[in-house]
Structures are given as structure tokens and as C-alpha cells.
């Protein structure tokens, strides 16, 4: 399984044999892909970042703490990845920020990369 990151308006360039997954609280109107809101940043955290109350480093630390705090998240991700691997093969994590913008999808991809062997092999 390959895990890619991209943004919603780039959907025409997603790899073949992949499934797009919204990792936002509110995907675009008409979104036809899967949604996993449990890995989206909290609304408060996102608004504090967008309002420049916290910087990228603090946002990143808080977001990773959010992912690690939920003890049920790894088993849910494990089940999801096994299903998607068998059904589609590849995953595209999607949100709104373009390729050149800081975005939580890159943090999530890194988190998955650090945890993926553990998640898939359990």
C-alpha cells in the first residue's frame, strides 16, 4: 500500500487504483470519497493556527499529541488500512491546502509512516 497526500482540487491527478480520503472536518460539497474526521485537527486548534495564535511548530506538536492521545485511534486506523489495502491498494489523504502550504496531512502521513508497520503487522 502506498499513502499519498494531496488536496481536493487536484483529484484529477490522483494515482490510479487509489481511494481518496478526506481528513478534514468539512469536506467540499459533493465530495464522493471516504471521510475520516477522527484524524482531522480539532476545530479550536485549526482556528488558533489560522488566526496566527499558534505557529506551525506548536500546531504540529498539538496535532501529534491529539493523534497519540486517542488510544482507540491506532486500532481503527489498523482496520481501515487493512480494508483499504485489500480493496484499493493505495490511499490519498486529502484536505484543502495546496502542495506548497503547511498542512496537517503531511503530519498525518508521517505519523502513519512511523506507526504503519506496527498497525499493519499487529
Q: What is the pLDDT of residues 87-121, one digit of tens each?
A: 888 889 999 999 889 999 999 988 988 876 544 43
Query: Which domain does 48 fall in, by range?
Result: 2-121
Walk across the sheet containing 34-35 and list its strands.
2-7, 90-95, 18-22, 34-35
Contacts of 83-87 with C-beta under 8 Å, sequence gap 24+, read 84/1, 84/19, 85/1, 85/120, 87/19
CB of 27 closer than 8 Å to CB of 35: yes
When divided into structural domains, the chain yields a total of 1
| Radius of gyration in angstroms for the set of CA atoms belonging to the chain, rounded to a whole number | 14
Q: What is the pLDDT of residues 46-60, one digit of tens each?
A: 999 999 999 999 999
What number of residues does the chain have? 122
Amino acid at each position: 500500500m502506498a499513502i499519498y497526500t494531496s488536496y481536493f482540487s487536484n483529484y484529477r491527478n490522483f494515482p490510479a487504483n487509489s481511494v481518496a480520503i478526506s481528513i478534514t472536518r468539512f469536506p467540499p460539497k459533493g465530495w464522493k470519497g471516504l471521510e475520516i474526521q477522527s484524524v482531522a485537527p480539532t476545530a479550536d486548534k485549526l482556528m488558533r493556527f489560522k488566526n496566527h495564535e499558534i505557529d506551525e511548530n506548536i500546531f504540529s506538536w498539538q496535532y501529534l499529541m491529539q493523534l497519540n492521545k486517542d488510544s482507540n485511534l491506532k486500532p481503527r486506523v489498523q482496520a481501515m488500512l487493512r480494508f483499504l489495502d485489500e480493496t484499493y491498494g493505495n490511499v490519498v489523504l486529502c484536505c484543502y491546502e495546496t502542495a506548497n502550504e503547511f498542512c496537517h496531512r503531511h503530519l498525518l502521513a508521517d505519523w502513519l509512516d512511523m506507526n504503519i508497520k506496527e498497525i499493519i503487522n499487529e
